[in-house]
Amino acid sequence: MDYIDRLRRFAVNDPRLDGDLELEPTQLDPRDVALARLAALVAVGGAEPTYGSLVDEAVTAGARSAEIVDVLAAVVPIVGLPGAVAAAPKLALALGHDLFGTDGAG
């Protein structure tokens, strides 16, 4: 199936989209998929535990920490600076950094 057929199935919510093969990306490498999913997580204001699993997925796929942080900068024009700021501590914790220490002071 070519990309136009896949796009058409998404556009009409084709019941055949329930199959795993049709929902998984076919042209993106695992690193790019993981970074795209992190960007989407920032956009929807995802929960902290999800950041951990997606960061693990990205690192396993070869993404560097700096690239993962670049995702925040890349989505600012879409989600706004407040959205990126809200995501930053969650992303930092997923990368193993507590930006504010144990007492919460910056």
pTM: predicted TM-score of the whole model, two decimal places? 0.81
Nearest to 36 by CA among 58, 62, 20, 19: 58
Domain layout of the chain by residue ranges: 30-94
The two tokens of residue 99 are: 């930006």
Q: What is the pLDDT of residue 3?
A: 82
Q: Give Cβ neighbours of residue 72 (< 8 Å, ≥ 6 apart).
A: 42, 84, 87, 88, 91
pLDDT, residue 22, reads 64
- Show the beta-strand stretches assigned E in the chain: none
pLDDT tens digits for range 48-100: 999 999 999 999 999 999 999 999 999 999 999 999 999 999 999 999 998 88
Q: CA-to-CA distance for 87 and 78, rounded, in angstroms? A: 14
Q: Name which of 65, 66, 61, 85 is nearest 75 in CA terms.
A: 85
